[in-house]
Every structure is written in structure tokens, then in C-alpha cells.
Chains A and B, each alone.
Chain A
Amino acid sequence: MSLTREDVTYVANLARLEFSEDEVIALADQLGAVLDYAETLSGLDTSKIKATEHVLAVQNVFRADEIESCLTNEEALANAPESEAGCFKVPRVME
């Protein structure tokens, strides 16, 4: 199966990426090739196979409900491209 340009555009929007028309064409080709290669997977009957989410059987890892020190407001915002009044700033969000 190959990827259509519409597929590429749909996925790009989901991933908050944008591409030029040429890039969309190239991506449809390149991703299509990888997906075609991945088609080998469909030949394998996995209907009775459990998915492995974790390779090791670790479970119930919790932390105690204890407060530790936070970053200061200055530290939290130190890397921010834009900030105002102790907050991160983004373009106006319509609700």
C-alpha cells in the first residue's frame, strides 16, 4: 500500500507539521516505501498474540505522596521564548 498526498497532509496536521508541495510528494514516496516494507508484518498471524508493552515484567512502581522542592518562577521560565507576568506567553487562544 502506498501513501496518498491527502494522507500525508492529514497526518502532518495531526503532528503540527507543515510541508511544501514538493516535500509532500517526497514524503508520500519515502513513507510509502517504509510502509510497504512494513507490509511484511501483515503476513504474520498475530490474532492470538498478546502485545508486549514492556519488555520486563515490572509493575506497581509508585512514589510516596511527599512534597519536594519546586523550581522558582524564574527557573521555570528561564528557557521560555516569550513570557509575561510570571507566565509563559502564546498567541491569543480563542476559547
Chain B
Amino acid sequence: MELYQKTIHEINDLLDKKEVTVTDVTQAVVNRINAVEKATDAYLSLQTEAALEAAQGLDAELSGRAKRTSLEGIPYGLKDNMCTKGILTTCASKMLYNFNPPYNAEVYDRLSEEGGILLGKTNMDEFAMGSSTENSAYKKTRNPWDLNKVPGGSSGGSAVAVAADTAFYTLGSDTGGSIRQPASFCGVVGMKPTYGLVSRYGLVAFASSLDQIGPFTKDVEDCALVLNAIVGHDAKDSTSLNLEKTDYTQTLKQGVKGLKIGVAKEFFGEGLQPEVRKSLEDAIAIYKTLGASIVDVSFQHLDYALSAYYMISSAEASSNLARYDGIRYGFRAEEYSDLVDLYKKTRSQGFGDEVKRRIMLGTYALSSGYYDAYYKKAMQVRTIIKADFDQVFGGCDVLLTPTAPTTAFGIGEKTSNPLEMYLTDIYTVPVNIAGIPGVSIPCGLDNNGMPIGMQLLGPILSEETLLKTAWAFEHESGLTNLKAPLGTEV
């Protein structure tokens, strides 16, 4: 196995034994980027030279030091909606084509403090709105398992970088499934932590009450390592949880004996690809052999989740994206007649179609006369969905579901019908509505060789249980650090 193909914990072993240097590791992944990035287009911008320089600096420092932290010297990528001082942060939007933030996202600060080496900023759906990364204003990221298929979205670039071994790990953001769905489509591990666990400071807001940052990794153990680094209270984020620090690797390998895993028929409804269903049934069987008990659970109101999600997320987005007006930063239209025209021209030219659609939907849902019917109603449905999850987790520890109804679809296949695109999020959005954590891990391949994702959900702050459940399956099934048939030179 090539160096760039390894997991973080494998690289850690080599670095700790001084068998390789940070420069070796970084050079390996930079070479890999040079070889395959033009085929996958995972990154919007690259910092490979700065990364190599940082690697050399770190090697010099590490030679005189016995201990290093778990992410020290590990090259990674950030979704381009996380602010990086001195590095363009575009959100894959024309609106921020030249935006150079004078501040860092809290997660970037934390990873820098850990000694992480930033390789670049990854492609995404514009302002994280989309399920295929086709809404990027700059490029189409391709699924390394089939270059004609989408990587999922909105964190498609982050998922692909890990799947194509052009980063050891990446961060994405998940508002309605934007980490878990692309993880599923690309055959990697992707986790959305409990709302409030990871600081949102410096994450360009899409829907504030739903957004959460999380990792993409090659296996579950790596997921725990990255989580360790990014979780923690941040006084700059009022919704950040102030809890004692957890080491997520501690309980990782405890097994699932006696664990109650719930299965709800509402997650196995119409439109579910048969191979996805089969693959999940196989996973259930594996859990049984590992000593977990499988229990039937059911939801009363899951059907309402998607509508509520699109109302809440669009309403918040319409307000969050109002600040892009061409006055203080970012794009400004070249020609305009007066102030109002400046606003309208700038926003109409700067935003892509999907973003404008969501702003329109959200503005409508909040406007006079419709607030009660749409926005308020959705916030009430949120209470009901939360209660549904509470009741379900009264009967099981973990809920097992498909991450998405299908495996990755073709590029261009769903772009003409927004509603059809929205329906691909049906299994992921209820999680954001309830604020609970969820992880997607690979659980097989379909008949075309495309990865299938299994989603594990748990109550608020059940990350340890989720990771241990995921690790047990991964370990038993051997479905770990999957390699897309991308070759070494594309």
C-alpha cells in the first residue's frame, strides 16, 4: 500500500516510529494530488507548497521531541465554507470569488494548533446548498468510483479528497446530510456530530440552527481521532456546548454485545434501491452475530421532516445570505443605476440558481401572511420530530438506516428537477432537525460497484456509542479504507 493510501492511525504509527517523516507523508499526498486531482476536481484551491514547507518545519521540530499529537503533521483538506485567514474562502460562489477573510474558523485554528497541514479548500455546492456538488460556481467534482457520477453533496469535494486519497481526512459541514450523503456516495466515513459539539464560528452560515461541522475519514478510528481535535466549547459560538473533553478513541473497540439496534420501516420505504436494502440487511445480520439485539422501532411523523427541513433551512438561509450585497466584500455587479439596483444586480449575478431558489423559498416562508403556515409550522413539526426520536431512542441505543435511498447518481441526472434532488436527502434531514449525531459508513457496493452507505443514529451526545457501533461493523465486515478504482495516474 502506498503511503498516501494509509489511514491517519497507520501514518501515526510510522511517524511515531520515525520510519517516515512528515515531509514524506506530505510529499506522497501532494504527488497523489498532482496525479489524480485533474480527474476528480475535489479542490477549489490548493496550498501544496505551503503544506510542504510546513511539513519540513515540523520535521525539524519533531526531531528534537519525543511526543507528537494524533493529527500532528497529517495533511488534510477543508471545505471551502470554513474561513481561512489569508486563503480565499469562496463557498464555491461567484459572490465570494475574491473573499479573503481576516479571521479563521475555530476548527481551522484548532487543527492548526494540533499541527495539521492544510492541503487546500475543497469544492462544494454553492453555500452548501445541494446534494451533488453540481451547484458549485467553479467546477464539477467527480466521484472517484465512477467519474461520470456525482460525489454527493454539498461537501462533495471533501468526500472525494478522502476517497481518492488526496487528503488523509477532510472537514465538511452537514445541514441536511451534506457530510453523510457524500460519504455514502464515495465509500468513506462521514460524521455529523450533535448540534453544538463543534464550533460553527467561521463556518459560513447556511442554516444556523442545523449546520454542524464534521469529519470525513478513511475509517472509523480516524473519525474518532479527528473528532477529538475539533470537538470542544468555543466562547465565540453561543450555541456551542460546554462539556468535559471526551477521548473518542477510548471506547471505540468495546464491541456491541447487548447493544439494542433499532430498525424502523419508515427508513426502508418506497424508492429505496434494492441493493441498498440488501446491503443493510446483511449489516443487520452481522450485528446479530456480534451480539447486538435488533429491535423494530417506528416513527409517527417522519414524512413531515423533509418539508419542515426545507422551510427552516431556506428561511434561515434567506436571512443569512442577505449580507451578500456587494458593499463590504465579495462580488459587486459592474453596472447598476442606484442603490437598490446595486443590490439586485449584485445578488442576481453573484448567486447561482439553487441559492436563489432557496432564498426565494425562505423569504416567502417568512413573509407576512405565510409565516404561520410555513416557518412556524415547520418549527412546530421540529418539536414533533424531536419527540419521535426521543420515543424511538427510548427503545433502542442506536438506529440503523440507509444513508441515502440510492447510490451515487449520474452527473446532470437530477439538476432539472429541484424537488427530486431534495428527495435524496430524505433519510438524512430528520437528524439535523432533531440535532442528534449521525455517522455514515460504507456497508457494501451495488451492482455497478458504487459504494452503499449505512447511517447510524443515536440520541444527543451519543457519539461514543455511534463510533463503537460503526467500528464493530467495520472491523467485522472488513469494509474499511475502501479504494476507489481510480488507479495511480488518471
Contact = CB atoms under 8 A, between A and B. Distances in A.
Best-surrounded residue of B238, B306, B310, B330 (most CB of chain A within 10 A): B238
Interface in A1-26: 3, 7-8, 10-12, 14-19
Nearest to A89: B327
Interface stretch (B110-118, B284-292, B353-361, B447-455): B353-361
B362 to A, nearest CB: 8
Contact of A50 (B373, B378, B383): B383
A85 interface: no
A44 B327 contact: no
Contacts of A50: 380, 383
A49 B380 contact: yes
Contact of B209 (A34, A35, A46, A53): A53
Interface residues of B, number: 67
Contacts of A78: 100, 102
Interface residues of A, number: 48
Classify the interface of chain B: helix, strand, loop or mixed: helix
A35 B311 CA distance: 9
A71 B357 contact: no
Interface stretch (B24-32, B180-188, B335-343): B335-343
A79 B99 contact: yes
Best-surrounded residue of A19, A35, A40 (most CB of chain B within 10 A): A35
Contacts of B301: 44
Given A49-B384, A55-B435, A56-B435, A31 B364 contact: yes
Interface in A58-77: 58, 61, 63, 71, 75
Interface string B229-258: 000000100110100000000000000000
Interface in A26-43: 27, 30-31, 33-35, 37-38, 40-42
A46 B377 contact: yes
A-B residue pairs, 10 tightest by C-beta: A55-B435, A79-B329, A51-B379, A81-B332, A46-B380, A16-B343, A38-B307, A61-B238, A49-B380, A52-B382
Interface of A: 3, 7-8, 10-12, 14-19, 27, 30-31, 33-35, 37-38, 40-42, 44, 46, 49-56, 58, 61, 63, 71, 75, 78-82, 88, 90-93
Given A19-B348, A55-B434, 12 more contacts: A11-B363, A16-B322, A17-B356, A17-B360, A30-B418, A35-B361, A41-B381, A52-B379, A55-B433, A58-B196, A79-B98, A81-B327
11 contacts: A15-B322, A19-B356, A41-B311, A44-B301, A46-B377, A53-B379, A56-B196, A56-B241, A79-B330, A81-B327, A93-B339
